[in-house]
Structure 1
Amino acid sequence: MTQMPENVRAGLQALMIEYCYAVDGLKDMQPLLDLFTDDARADFTAIGLPMINGKGEIKTFFDGVFAGMSHHFHFISNFRPESWDGSVGAMTAYVIGMGRANDGNTVTVQVKYRMECIEQDGAWKCRHYTITPMMPMPGSLTEIHGEG
């Protein structure tokens, strides 16, 4: 791995932070979608949620999340550059995510985000996003956000 330049590291870290703010907002979908490439993939299978392909499916998934939740809170830390090849950068971070569904159900997860990103039109965009568990997953996650 070539060492990730500091400006790239800062850009990827900012992207991950903006993702958390966009998800926690639970209102405006556009800032969230702006963080992804058109062909982005979001792999949530390790936490019992779906594989999502493309911005259209990302929007559909998060439309459901936004409609079903009254509160979200994500705390992100331990940013770590994973790879840099001169144009594609990947970074991981630890996340504690909490939420309350409209029906009063709650969820807390401890996970790791991995975002593989490219620069498009002067902004960093995520093209592959993966969530993996760091602690056992609560059943309430699939109850709130799962397919079913």
Structure 2
Amino acid sequence: MKSLEQRIQTLEDRQALQERVSSYLIALDDAADLEQLLSHFTEDAVFDMTALEYQIFEGMAALRELFAGAFASMSHSAHYATNFKIDSLDQDTAAARTHVIGMGVPAAAASAPESKGSESVLFYVQYHLEFARINDSWKISSLRGQPLMPS
């Protein structure tokens, strides 16, 4: 049986992992501080939404390009996460899944609602997340999206 200290650490880690995901989504929707958003990831993180017909982004420079472009192209967004489940939790690595509903209004649609080709975005996806503990803080090392509903 695990010691009381080990059990408390497991509870704290589980809470920190869920907090990391929530904090990432809030930073994404705030779209105000790119550095704050990037601080949720490891330097070599992988962002893989190929199942949603997006490209894969690997490393901090690629993530910076991805999110800077997203901030510039969207006027509003909202992401909601539910069903957070830890799949594995070790001392310095973890894996989890969560369901996410994401929606956004492109900047072009917000400034000219009648314009074609700038429709709102809506998706239902399951994030498959991997985490690494870096300097006593959990960071996302991999985020892969799998569709839950047809688009």
Shift of residue 119 of structure 1? Answer: 1.1
Match of 2:64 among 54, 59, 70: 59
Q: Secondary structure of 2:108's partner?
A: coil
Corresponding residue of 2:45: 40
**What per-residue deviation string (whole Å, max 9, x for no partner) do you get for residues 1-22 of structure 1?**
xx99211111110010011001
Structure 2 unaligned spans of 5+ = 1-6, 110-118
Distance in 1 between the 2:92 and 2:70 partners? 32
Q: What amino acid is the match of 1:89?
A: A
Aligned to 1:124: 138
Counterpart Cα distance in 2 of 1:51 and 1:129: 10
1:16-55 Cα deviation digits (max 9, x unpaired) = 0011001101121011110111011111101111111001
Aligned length: 135
Q: Hey, what's the Cα distance between the residues in 2 that align with 1:78 and 1:53?
A: 26
Aligned equivalents of 2:36 and 2:137: distance in 1? 13
Give 1 or 2 for the bigger CA radius of gyration: 2
Partner of 1:5: 10
Q: The residue matched to 1:136 in structure 2 has which SS?
A: coil
Question: What root-mean-square deviation, in Å, do the aligned CA atoms of Structure 1 and Structure 2 show?
Answer: 1.4
Give 5+ residue unaligned stretches, structure 1.
Answer: 138-148
Q: By how many angstroms is 1:85 displaced?
A: 3.1
Identity of aligned residues (%): 33
The amino acid across from 1:15 in the alignment is: R
